[in-house]
Chains A and B, each alone.
Chain A
């Protein structure tokens, strides 16, 4: 059984009752043509070419709170617009309408009789005479309050999201600063410089470092990397930092310091959620023309010594375990003297693991870093950090992980100039 609109009835047409209903519908439709114009769900407006209002429907009058006499023959369409709308109408709407003969879907604001504003979408067409001369402009106006509200909501939601992101980034930056010393303290007879790069602006990095006095002219220094990222890793970073300082005050021997940190990490974190970090810890003792540095490493990449004579070497501390992995982890120490013109460079693996060729997946590596250091030596702490900063900048996108570097240098001027 089919019944379709536009289906021409066959000779076996509908019954009489249906014919009557059809007649009523047709009558209703014809009767409502004028009513449809007046009370359409949109505003209708006809103007002369200069914008003078010639005809306006009841819907629009109701929206604006005007009577027909207020507008017809007295106002131009542009007079109904807000100041901004007038300007837009003059500079864009009217010229485009003249050029194209029509313009559609333009968002404007109308000003009602009571001064309130009504956001609308305006479509205009030019009606031409039979010989093609423009006669008048027909305009339909749709109430765009819903749409405008929706757009405003969208915009607000986006602004809020942006704001949230900014807030998060600022919080992350603030927290990050609490995990690093604001400035490195001045160690007499030693030049120090540091660099810190966070790979992500909305995730806390896991790298950390610090330099602090231990009394008797001795100094403690450490640099490390907590496994993982985000708030949980940051909590470990914070605990690690304070534990290292407290442990050093208790017993400054580097092996003992790392042993204490290991015990604290094991105690603090259950075996369900173990936490690890790699750290290199150094005890600096002034010894006349320089310092004796005792270094111990817990699973951390070896420090680099850039000597005054232009050579460079890794200072290995073999056997040092990732801190937090075993109840009774063993750490070993190595001792290195730094005198005039020597620079000791501590760094995290963000540097050696940086991608030198993103497409090929090639990474920088220990050999390249050693060659880089040998090239650089002799240098100063600030010179080394500047070079590392430039190197990382050259890697650009290739630096995927957080990277920290700390350089300690004994100024060459403290000893006699080499001949």
Chain B
């Protein structure tokens, strides 16, 4: 009965300070806290950017949104940035209704999000981030 969500990392050699995570499944109150812990665990001290690939995330309830916002707070607190990629129509709708689109850099695909970070060297690779 409970939903399942899985987490995969896609390290990119050209972006050592970027944590790239792909969420798959359904993110809801039964698994959101677990997901947050796992994501926080994966977030290293020198990570300055977080890319969340949500293309395989089929559902996200209000608790899930809290977790996405918590991750955003974590990365922005260290001067970093967060982008979400691959929002399906339903997730995009949730992001629009709640106004979350203003808080995340929304990219069509993970590749787009990666390309954008590569093009903006200040967001990554810089040895001394603000």
Interface membership of chain A positions 309-341, coded 1 if the CB is closer than 8 angstroms to chain B and 0 otherwise:
000000000011110010001000000000000
**Residue of B26, B61, B66, B99 most packed against chain A (CB within 10 A):** B99
Question: Within the assembled complex, what's the spacing in Å between the Cα atoms of A320 and B73?
Answer: 20
CB neighbours (8 Å) of B66 from chain A are: 227-228, 274, 276
* CB contact between A363 and one of B59, B69, B102 (< 8 Å): that residue: B59
Question: B61 near A353 (CB under 8 angstroms)?
Answer: yes
CB distance A278 to B58 under 8 Å? no
Contact between A301 and B97 (Cβ–Cβ < 8 Å)? yes
A225 sits at the interface (CB 8 A): yes
CB distance from A272 to the nearest CB of B (A): 9
Partner of A225 from B28, B59, B62 at Cβ < 8 Å = B62
With both beta carbons as reference points, the residue of chain A lying nearest to B1 in the complex is identified as A397
Minimum distance in angstroms from B102 CB to a CB of chain A: 7
8 A Cβ contacts from A338-369 to B: 349, 353, 361, 363, 365-366
A401/B97 in contact, CB under 8 A: no
Contact A361:B58 (CB < 8 A) given known A228-B29, A274-B69, A325-B103: yes
Name the residue of chain A whose CB is nearest to the CB of B58: A361
Alpha-carbon gap, A227 to B63, bound state (A): 5
- Cα distance A301–B98 when bound, in Å? 8
Question: What bracket does the count of chain B residues touching chain A fall in?
Answer: 20 to 34
Interface residues of B in 70-85 (CB under 8 A from A): 70, 73
Contact call A321/B99, Cβ cutoff below 8 A: yes
Q: Closest approach, in angstroms, between the C-beta of A152 and any C-beta of chain B?
A: 34
Quick one: which of A229, A325, A397, A400 contacts B69, CB cutoff 8 A? A325
- Tell whether, in the assembled complex, residue B69 and residue A228 are in contact, meaning their CB atoms are under 8 Å apart: no
Least Cβ distance of A246 to chain B in Å? 24
When distances are taken between beta carbons in the complex, the residues of chain A under 8 Å from B61 are: 349, 353, 400-401
Q: How far is the CA of A325 from the CA of B58 in the complex (A)?
A: 24
**Chain B nearest Cβ from A349, distance in angstroms:** 8
Inter-chain contact A322/B93, CB cutoff 8 Å? no
Residues from chain A with Cβ under 8 Å of B65 in the complex: 227, 276, 322
Chain B CB within 10 Å, residue with most, of A299, A302, A329:
A299
Query: Which residues 382-419 in A have Cβ within 8 Å of B in the complex?
Result: 397, 400-401
- Not counting A322-B98, A325-B69, a sample of 10 additional A-B residue pairs whose C-beta atoms are within 8 angstroms of each other reads A206-B62, A227-B62, A229-B29, A276-B69, A278-B97, A301-B97, A319-B99, A321-B98, A321-B102, A361-B59
Chain B residues at the A interface, C-beta cutoff of 8 Å: 1, 3, 26, 28-29, 58-59, 61-63, 65-66, 69-70, 73, 90, 93-94, 97-100, 102-103
